[in-house]
Amino acid sequence: MYVEDMAIQFLPIVGALSNVAGTALGIYRKTNDERKQRQAQAALIERIEKLEDADVEQTGLISDLAADLEQFARAVQAEIEAGRKREARIGFVACASFVTAVASLILSGILLFK
């Protein structure tokens, strides 16, 4: 009779422990999953912040590059204009030289046949 009383008292304790262990395991898993989600969210937020910082930095670099490119375009345009002016002067000098040569040839011909 003593063994039966002990078995009857032991089974409810094992059942209660089993319920408590099952509940604790469920809470642990839920807490662990929530912790992992928070870590993943924190890592994602950190990555987004890094991307935003990189985006701001790249925007600044592109702005600087655009300013440098605009300055280069102005310098090229000024060089083209200077080249056109030199070309016009050379053309004028060439025409004047041609006219002077023709006039000299005509004058030489007149003096030669006189």
Domain ranges of the chain: 1-80
What integer pLDDT is reported at residue 1 of this predicted model?
Answer: 46
pLDDT tens digits for range 42-101: 999 999 999 999 999 999 999 999 999 999 999 999 999 999 999 999 999 999 999 999
The tokens for 65 are 């590059």
Top pLDDT among 106 and 11 is at: 106
Top pLDDT among 33 and 73 is at: 73
Cα–Cα distance, 110 to 101 (Å, whole number): 14
